[in-house]
Structure formats: C-alpha cells, structure tokens
C-alpha cells in the first residue's frame, strides 16, 4: 500500500541529507517528490522554500521536509505561507510534539547541525505522530488566523 506523499526541498547545503532522506522514505513506501536542487552550485533557500510551500498548497494531505545548512533559513521561508506550519527540530521528541500539539505539516532540519541517523529518527517521529486535536486545535486555528485580520 502506497503511503502519503512527502515533498522535499533543500538548498545546496542540504542536498546530501535530502538525498539520504529520499532513499530512506522511498524504501519505507512513501511517495517522494524531490523539489530540488540536485547537488551542484550554490542556490538560494528562499526559492526552494517557496517551491515546497506551493506544492503543499495544492496537496493539503501531504507533508514536507525542508533542509538547509542550519534549517533556519528554509524554515523561515516556508513559514511565510499561511497554510504551512514548519517546525525546525533537532530531537525526536520535538518532532513528535510538533505534530501532536501544532499539527506541523513541514519538518525542517539543518544538515550542518544534526547527524544523519538523528535526522532520520526525527523524520520517523514526525511522520509517525498524529495531531491530538482537542485543546490544541483552538491554538492551531489561532495560528491560521494570524495575519488574516491585519
């Protein structure tokens, strides 16, 4: 059975981790869409954050993984869009809580700050955790409303 679609995007500093994540998730049965870039010359993380956000706008059931050197820049870029809730994490517990409490739909990672094994553990925690809803739904609804009333 085919699992959900996962969109991946990075900048040049996240390409190696993105490739490893693609291989890992494809082997686990996820539908992978690699939005780039391929290994090579320097690119700008905002461009790939936009690609990821736009892919999720059209595929609301999917989730995304954003990777750059620190994870900070690409998470800021993708969070510019109201339908994205990206969480930059460095522990499996943070990855799980981003889903349970915040209904995060994008996981952000910093290739220079997290080793591959821990990154894959964080991804498994993120993909394997459901949103709890309940009292957390009210807070997620408030996040969605931010900016809509200004």
- By CB neighbour count within 10 A (0-12 exposed, 13-18 middle, 19+ buried), where does 64 fall? buried
Catalytic option among 22, 24, 101, 136: 101
Catalytic option among 12, 15, 22, 68: 68
Q: Are 108 and 71 in contact (CB under 8 A)?
A: yes
- Residue 101 designated active-site: yes
CA dihedral 30, 86, 98, 1 (to 10 degrees): -10
- Residue 22 designated active-site: no
CA separation for the pair 34, 148 (Å, rounded): 31
Catalytic site positions: 68, 101
């Amino acid at each position: 059975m085919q699992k959900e679609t996962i969109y991946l995007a990075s900048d040049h500093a996240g390409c190696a981790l993105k490739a490893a994540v693609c291989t890992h998730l494809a082997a686990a049965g996820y539908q992978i869409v690699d939005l780039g870039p391929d290994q090579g010359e320097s690119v700008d993380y905002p461009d790939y954050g936009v690609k990821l956000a736009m892919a999720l706008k059209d595929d609301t059931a999917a989730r995304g993984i954003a990777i750059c050197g620190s994870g900070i820049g690409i998470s800021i870029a993708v969070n510019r869009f109201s339908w994205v809730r990206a969480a930059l994490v460095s522990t499996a517990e943070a990855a799980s809580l981003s889903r349970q409490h915040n209904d995060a739909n994008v996981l952000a990672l910093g290739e220079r700050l997290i080793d591959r094994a821990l990154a894959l553990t964080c991804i498994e925690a993120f993909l394997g955790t459901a949103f709890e809803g309940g009292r957390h739904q009210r807070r997620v609804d408030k996040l969605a409303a931010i900016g809509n009333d200004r």
